[in-house]
């Protein structure tokens, strides 16, 4: 197992199932993603860079794509989201729609690919 899987396994239901669904969805979108940590959070990493973390917070949950640019782009596409500069918040009663979560993961993957392509 990895850091993110271990973190999710430590949670009670229904939180465990909800966050594991998002973990599996991110791996389906980015099969090369690996578990690790970033900024002290269990996360998925892609090409050595942090891809996405999903955490339990005081108010529910947050998805962190490790990019304020990705968060801003998703906020511009989808109305009514509760967000900070670094992440998007959601709750059990109002889970993050798959389309929004996919946009976070895919946006961050594209950002990582572009950054690494510029380094060549």
* % of the chain at pLDDT higher than 90: 93
**Domain locations in the chain?**
3-118
Pick from 119, 41, 18, 120: nearest CA to 87: 41
Mean per-residue pLDDT of the chain: 95
Architecture of the structural domain at 3-118: Alpha-Beta Complex (3.90)
d(CA 111, CA 105): 10
Please list, residue by residue across 1-29, b when 16 or more beta carbons sit within 10 angstroms of its beta carbon and e when fewer do: ebbbeebbeeeeeeeeebbbebbeebbeb
Using pLDDT thresholds of 50, 70 and 90, give the confidence band for residue 1: low
Asked if pLDDT for residue 2 goes beyond 70, the answer is yes
């Amino acid at each position: 197992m990895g850091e993110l899987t271990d973190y999710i396994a430590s949670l009670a239901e229904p939180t465990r199932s909800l966050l594991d669904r998002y973990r599996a969805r991110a791996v389906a979108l980015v099969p090369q993603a690996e578990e690790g940590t970033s900024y002290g959070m269990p996360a998925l990493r892609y090409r050595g860079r942090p891809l996405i973390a999903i955490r339990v917070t005081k108010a529910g949950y947050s998805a962190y794509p490790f990019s304020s640019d990705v968060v801003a782009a998703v906020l511009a596409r989808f109305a009514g989201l509760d967000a900070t500069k670094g992440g998007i918040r959601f709750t059990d009663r109002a889970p993050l729609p798959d389309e929004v979560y996919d946009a976070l993961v895919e946006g961050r993957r594209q950002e990582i690919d572009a950054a690494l392509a510029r380094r060549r």
